[in-house]
């Protein structure tokens, strides 16, 4: 019989180190249930696979860098009737990711744009996709002065199945920044989905980018395959401070 030590060594060399801690229980269970050799082996392999899937999920979740642990399940659609629950649930199925369709969430602060973006990202990650969250401010900081050969930084924004660019509209862009953003959107066009959130209407994008032609070229690519969700309800953050019969379209609260 193989000793525990030899077994640990074998598992480690086979890169099945995580299995070592589960093995005593699996063996005990197999004894009690009088499993056949085949059934026991299948149980062990299933346990290893489940562990790997779990670790990969955690890795994808960490590398997405989501700022909120928000899930779609905790979004109160009754509070925000301008958001179509049917559309969000349809997006949650994930087929938009296969067609590189974008999702644009528009609305004033506090209405749940970041929450919905993160909730969709969590769903995407749970169904095996990769995602990366960033704000426009962080993104342009990262892309600033990026040499053409500095592919690593760029890859972090190009490679994930889903890129979330939050808070478009809070920072005014100079010509370099506007061009970088345009190049990123162009590079992902028809290749990978972007979820974008903004407090601006599309008309203001020329001002944001400091260039009307660039803005319309960018919107053209972004909106060619896109679902736009315009939220014009009250700020959830302010819900306890405002009377229900005084709806506020531009809620308070910092973003
Ligand atoms: P925005 O990005 O539009 O400014 P957030 O998504 O950051 O708004 O929402 C602000 C806070 O309120 C977050 O903690 C979010 O989870 C919560 N929130 C917003 N809308 C809802 C909602 N309809 N149901 C539940 N929580 C919400
Ligand atoms: Mg937000």
In the chain, where the domains are located = 4-63, 67-245
Q: In this predicted model, what pLDDT tens digit does every residue of 208-228 receive, in sequence order?
A: 999 999 999 999 999 999 999
Give how far the C-alpha of residue 137 lies from the chain's centroid of Cα atoms, to the nearest Å: 17
Q: Report how far ligand 1's centroid is from the alpha carbon of 236 (Å).
A: 6
Atom of ligand 1 nearest to the CA of 105: 3
> Would the CB of 237 count as within 6 Å of ligand 1?
yes
Q: Does domain 67-245 have CATH number 3.40.50.300?
A: yes
CA dist 227 and 129 (Å) reads 19
> Would the CB of 233 count as within 6 Å of ligand 1?
no
Residue 186 or residue 240, greater confidence: 186
Q: Report how far ligand 1's centroid is from the alpha carbon of 46 (Å).
A: 39
Sheet containing strand 162-168, edge to edge, reads 131-135, 162-168, 193-198, 102-106, 226-230
Q: Are 102 and 229 in contact (CB under 8 A)?
A: no
Q: Report how far ligand 2's centroid is from the alpha carbon of 33 (Å).
A: 52
Query: DSSP string spanning 79-131?
Result: T-TTS-HHHHHHHHTTHHHHTT-EEEEE-STTSSHHHHHHHHHHHHHHTT--E
> Which residue has a Cα nearest atom 6 of ligand 1?
112
> Would the CB of 109 count as within 6 Å of ligand 1?
yes
Beta bridge mates, 102: 226
- Which value, in Å, is the radius of gyration of the alpha carbons in the chain? 23
Q: Report how far ligand 1's centroid is from the alpha carbon of 136 (Å).
A: 19
pLDDT band at 75 (very low <50, low <70, confident <90, very high): very high
Q: Which helix (H) or strand (E) holds 197?
A: strand 193-198
Backbone phi and psi for residue 252, each to the nearest 5 degrees, phi listed first: -85, -170
Report the pLDDT value the prediction gives residue 147, as an integer from 0 to 100: 62
pLDDT surpasses 70 at 1: no
Q: Report how far ligand 2's centroid is from the alpha carbon of 191 (Å).
A: 25
pLDDT band at 254 (very low <50, low <70, confident <90, very high): very low
Q: Residue 209 in 3-state DSSP?
A: helix
pLDDT band at 145 (very low <50, low <70, confident <90, very high): low
Helices (DSSP H) in 159-235: which residue ranges?
175-188, 205-209, 212-224
Report the pLDDT value the prediction gives residue 241, as an integer from 0 to 100: 72
Q: In this predicted model, what pLDDT tens digit does every residue of 114-141 receive, in sequence order?
A: 999 999 999 999 999 999 999 999 999 8
> Across the chain, what does the average pLDDT equal?
90
Q: Which ligand is closest in space to the CA of residue 110?
A: 1
Give how far the C-alpha of residue 136 lies from the chain's centroid of Cα atoms, to the nearest Å: 15
């Amino acid at each position: 019989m193989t000793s525990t030590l030899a077994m640990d060594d074998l598992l480690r060399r086979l890169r099945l180190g995580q299995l070592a801690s589960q093995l005593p229980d699996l063996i005990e269970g197999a004894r009690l249930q009088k499993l056949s050799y085949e059934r026991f082996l299948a149980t062990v392999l299933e346990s290893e696979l489940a562990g790997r899937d779990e670790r990969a999920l955690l890795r994808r979740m960490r590398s997405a860098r989501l700022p909120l642990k928000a899930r779609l399940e905790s979004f109160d659609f009754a509070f925000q009737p301008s958001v179509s629950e049917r559309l969000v649930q349809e997006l949650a199925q994930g087929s938009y990711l296969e067609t590189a369709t974008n999702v644009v969430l528009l609305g004033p602060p506090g209405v749940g744009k970041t929450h919905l973006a993160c909730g969709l990202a969590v769903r995407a990650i749970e169904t095996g996709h990769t995602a990366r969250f960033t704000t426009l401010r962080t993104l342009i900081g990262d892309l600033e002065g990026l040499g053409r050969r500095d592919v690593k930084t760029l890859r972090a924004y190009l490679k994930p199945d889903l890129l979330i660019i939050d808070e478009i509209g809070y920072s005014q862009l100079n010509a370099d920044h506007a061009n970088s953003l345009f190049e990123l959107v162009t590079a992902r066009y028809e290749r990978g989905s972007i979820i974008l959130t903004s407090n601006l209407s599309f008309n203001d994008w020329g001002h944001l980018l400091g260039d009307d032609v660039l803005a319309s070229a960018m919107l053209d690519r972004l909106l060619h395959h896109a679902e736009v969700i315009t939220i014009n309800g009250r700020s959830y953050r302010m819900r306890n401070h405002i009377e229900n019969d005084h709806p506020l379209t531009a809620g308070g609260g910092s973003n």
